[in-house]
Amino acid sequence: MSNRDWVYLLSLLIPFVAYDLALKGYLVVSWPKDLGLAESLKLMRSDLLFSLGYALFWIGLFAAARKGLLRLIVVGLFHAVTIFTALISTVAYQYFMVTGSTLDSNFMLFSLSSPQGLGDVMASEVSPGIMALIFLVLAYALLGPWLLTRVLDRGRSPDVHTRFPETPWLHLAGVGLVVFALFSLSLLPGGSGGIARPGKSFSLDAFVNVATTAAEAADNESFSGVADVPPADARLVPADGSEQRRNVVLVHLESTRAQSVTPYNEDLETTPFLNELAKESLLAERAYAVVPHTTNAMGASNCGIDPPLNPWQTSSLGDRVLSPCMAGLLAEQGYDTAWFTSSTSTFEIERLPELVKNLGYEEFYPVETMDTEGFEQANYFGYEDDVMLEPSRKWLEEHKDEPFLVSYETITPHHQYLAPKQSYGREEFDENDQVNRYQNSVRYQDFFLKNLFEQYKELGLYEDTVFVLYGDHGQGFGEHGRFQHDNTIYEEGIKIPLLVHDPRRFEDGARITAPVSQLDILPTVADLLGYEIEGGAYKGSSLLDLLPEDRTIMSSCWSESGCLASIKGTEKYVYHFDDAPDEFFDLSEDPLEKRNLAAAHPEEVEARRAELLEWRARVNAMYGSR
């Protein structure tokens, strides 16, 4: 190659390599716990090997394609691929900084299916500095090498174009073998994972991790296994004449973790109304989300069957739901049904209008149908929850003469935790600003609950209504390295508030100490109303039954192969696939999940792993291929 070729190549390759390594290096050195030099270098190994292989790859192509159309194609690809790879590294860096999770191809592709929603999320977290950095990277990658070579051309004598002898094809083949070896070695993770260690996916170069997860997804287009059989023909029948045609209200508490509400954490006075309500309610002390994602929680709580365990199948709930859900079952008994939400209905990923219809609700009222004047925006998804009160009042006044099922989906505690303050002010709960805004958002939600119950009392509906309040999932704030909910399988991510308030029962309060899940909500409502379920069996159990303390509850991360967990009694097992070692906790002694006891329970760990993987295969097969 000529000297000019070398200048052109290196003027882009050197900044690219430096940029990629700098992003990864910052993540490594900013890890909350000291990793040490050896561990840090292992975490950088894939990035170093990939960068070296990437540089040699383009040097070989430039040497092979010396002129003409082929050289133009190589130059165009050089810029396009380098820009794309740099963007992947940038997005992966920011995604990890915000969520604590590594970026994979499944999340990228699924997010791109909703450009508007993705843009709203990105706008909430991408600072002007990051946008300026991306612009500079793009501008330099497009024009930098050309400008540098032009400058050098002007300042040097014509011999700058002197060419070296032709490169033998044998030499190029050798370079190709070295490139192949470097790329292959970059696929080997350098991390070990664990409570205090980054996972193996973190140790891979960002582009390598996205590419490998794409390849894995291509190999798993369909899901094999014996599928669970949903109760497709289930129906409600009165139990021995004990049918009670009472109203039912479900309150879906967005992003509300158990440890952030007062009934589950007496030291945190975020929800005084909920705390008083719990004293006259049936409260599940250990309730869990099946999948810590909103859409999946809607399916589990309303339909009584395991929801999809990954994003691709979650989207299918907008096409069909596999079992009769609570709204449809009650509609057959003459109930009117409606769904209110303070969130937008236009976030394409969730397909909320289609989902609500498939859940069996006859009427749907998203925030677009409400008057938002005078209300604060709660986050990029919607407005403060009090915006639902007036539409709710109007609907109830029109339908109060017949039994009804109404669901209220709150949105205020969702990321980015703007914590509306005009109506009820704010308090100081935590020194961390993000956590404090979240706790204030949960506090705001408590005011909405108080206002909602007052509305039912004012309309004379309270005594004839059964209220079920449940969290859809929790939220991580770095307790185990995650700052999100979708892939937080620890207690802060999946342990949720769940209580049943019936003005005719539980006057002195009642508690359930056995582990329960969102799957138990449908059978509980049917039991409270005096119905039996015929034509099929739902997986959950009524909370009015005597539940065994050693009951097993299964949960899954939302990412396709992120993590699984089973809770049996007070013992919890977490499986991270190949990304990190298995974890086993005794929640009675270690509620914060700090001490991994997996090494002391090898047989139990193996049995629990097999049980979880079998459950995952059955659920995936039930929902079918992508």
Neighbours of 254 (CB within 10 A): 29
Helix and strand numbers (H, E) in the chain are 19, 19
**Residues 289 and 473: beta-carbon distance below 8 Å:** yes
Average of pLDDT values for 22-29? 94
pLDDT at 195: 54
Q: Which tokens sit at 71?
A: 């050289």
Through-space distance between the first and last CA atoms of the chain, rounded to whole angstroms: 47
Domain edges within the chain: 3-218, 242-548
Which DSSP letter does residue 254 get?
T
163 versus 394: the higher-pLDDT residue is: 394
Mean pLDDT lowest among 116-130, 164-178, 367-381:
116-130
Q: Which of 244, 265, 247 is nearest to 256 (CA)?
A: 265
CATH 3.30.465.10 assigned to domain 242-548? The reply is: no
Mean pLDDT lowest among 21-30, 213-222, 586-595:
213-222
pLDDT at 116: 61
Distance from C-alpha of 12 to C-alpha of 325, rounded to nearest angstrom: 57
**Residues 498 and 470: beta-carbon distance below 8 Å:** yes
Name the pTM for this structure.
0.92
Is the confidence at residue 155, as pLDDT, over 80?
A: no
Is the confidence at residue 596, as pLDDT, over 90?
A: yes
Q: If residue 284 lies in a helix (H) or strand (E), which one and from where to where?
A: strand 282-284
Give the count of alpha carbons within 13 A of 172, CB side only: 14
Radius of gyration of the chain (CA): 28
475 versus 173: the higher-pLDDT residue is: 475
502 versus 136: the higher-pLDDT residue is: 502
How is the chain split among helix, strand and coil, in percent rounded to 5? 50, 10, 40
Distance from C-alpha of 318 to C-alpha of 320, rounded to nearest angstrom: 6
Distance from C-alpha of 96 to C-alpha of 73, rounded to nearest angstrom: 34
Helix (H, G, I), strand (E, B) or coil at 387: helix
Is the confidence at residue 173, as pLDDT, over 90?
A: no
Q: What is the DSSP string of 331-376?
A: HTTT-EEEEEESB-S--TTT-HHHHHHHTT-SEEE-GGGS--TT--
pLDDT at 198: 81
- Residue 619 phi, psi (nearest 5): -70, -45
Neighbours of 138 (CB within 10 A): 14
pLDDT tens across 384-417, in order? Answer: 999 999 999 999 999 999 999 999 999 999 999 9
**Residues 475 and 485: beta-carbon distance below 8 Å:** yes
Residue for token pair 């021995």: 240
pLDDT at 167: 62
pLDDT tens across 188-244, in order? Answer: 988 666 555 688 999 999 999 999 988 877 666 566 678 888 999 999 999 876 778
pLDDT at 163: 53
Give the relative orientation of helices 3-29 and 68-99 as an angle to the nearest 10 degrees: 10
pLDDT at 160: 46
Please, which pLDDT band fits residue 147 given cuts at 50, 70 and 90? confident
Average of pLDDT values for 14-23? 94
pLDDT at 36: 85
How large a percentage of the chain has pLDDT more than 70?
A: 92
Distance from C-alpha of 234 to C-alpha of 599, rounded to nearest angstrom: 44
pLDDT at 216: 78
Buried b vs exposed e over 208-246: b needs ≥16 C-beta within 10 Å?
bbbbbbeeebeeeeebeeebbebbeebbbeeeeeeeeeb
pLDDT at 122: 66
Q: Which long-range contacts (CB under 8 A, 24 or more apart) does 522-525 make?
A: 522/301, 522/302, 522/303, 522/304, 522/325, 522/326, 522/329, 523/304, 524/468, 524/500, 525/248, 525/326, 525/466, 525/468
Q: What is the dihedral of CA 460, 466, 467, 470, to 10 degrees?
A: -170
Distance from C-alpha of 7 to C-alpha of 255, rounded to nearest angstrom: 52
Is the confidence at residue 567, as pLDDT, over 90?
A: yes
Neighbours of 428 (CB within 10 A): 8
Average of pLDDT values for 322-341? 97
Give the count of alpha carbons within 13 A of 426, CB side only: 17
Q: What is the DSSP string of 43-94?
A: HHHHHHHHHHHHHHHHHHHHHH--SHHHHHHHHHHHHHHHHHHHHHHHHHHH
Average of pLDDT values for 580-593? 96
Average of pLDDT values for 532-552? 95
CA distances from 188 to 183, 204, 372 (A): 9, 7, 52
**Residues 405 and 326: beta-carbon distance below 8 Å:** yes
Q: Which tokens sit at 449?
A: 């609950």
Average of pLDDT values for 409-437? 96
**Residues 524 and 538: beta-carbon distance below 8 Å:** no
- Residue 236 phi, psi (nearest 5): -95, 140
Average of pLDDT values for 582-593? 97
Mean pLDDT lowest among 26-30, 267-271, 573-577:
26-30
- The one-letter amino acid code at 309 reads L
Neighbours of 177 (CB within 10 A): 10
Please, which pLDDT band fits residue 158 given cuts at 50, 70 and 90? low
Q: Where are the beta strands (DSSP E) in 457-502?
A: 465-471, 495-496, 498-501
Please, which pLDDT band fits residue 135 given cuts at 50, 70 and 90? confident
